Structure 1
Amino acid sequence: MAKQLVTLFWGFIYGEVIGYIGSALTGATFSPLADGLTAMVIGFILVNILNSFIQDPTADKH
């Protein structure tokens, strides 16, 4: 559970930074909430997908 919360937190922070820089470079309007939430969702999905592909090799051995 903590891994998911950390992913959401840092996804929001990185979304804010990337959104701010991107809006400054393109001249678009900066929307903090939309940028942060979008990055949170994308990060959450990507981490869970990657976690399903990467398995601990010692977890199957008993």
Structure 2
Amino acid sequence: MAKQLTILFWGFIYGEVIGYILSALSGSTFEPLSSGLIAMVAGWIAVNCLTPFIKSPTKTSDSK
């Protein structure tokens, strides 16, 4: 549960920063809630979809 909350928190923070920079570069208005929520949900989905593909290394016994 803590991992999921951390992902949501940092996704929102990074979304705010990236949204602000992109709105300043494009000259459009900055919408903090939508940029944060979109990045938060996208980060949560990405991490949860990639987790099954990343496995920790397993110890193997050396048989001679």
* TM-score for both structures, normalised by structure 1: 0.88
1:4 corresponding residue in structure 2? 4
> TM-score, normalised to structure 2's length?
0.85
Shift of 1:28: 0.8
Query: Which ranges of structure 2 fall in alignment gaps of 5 or more residues?
Result: 59-64
Report the Cα distance in structure 2 between the residues aligned to 1:31 and 1:3, rounded to whole angstroms.
27
Aligned-residue identity in percent: 71
Post-superposition shift, 1:57? 3.8
Q: Report the residue type matching 2:33 in the other structure.
A: L
- Counterpart of 1:3 in 2: which secondary structure? helix
4+ long deviations beyond 4 Å: none
SS in 2 for 1:30: coil
Cα RMSD for the two superposed structures: 0.9
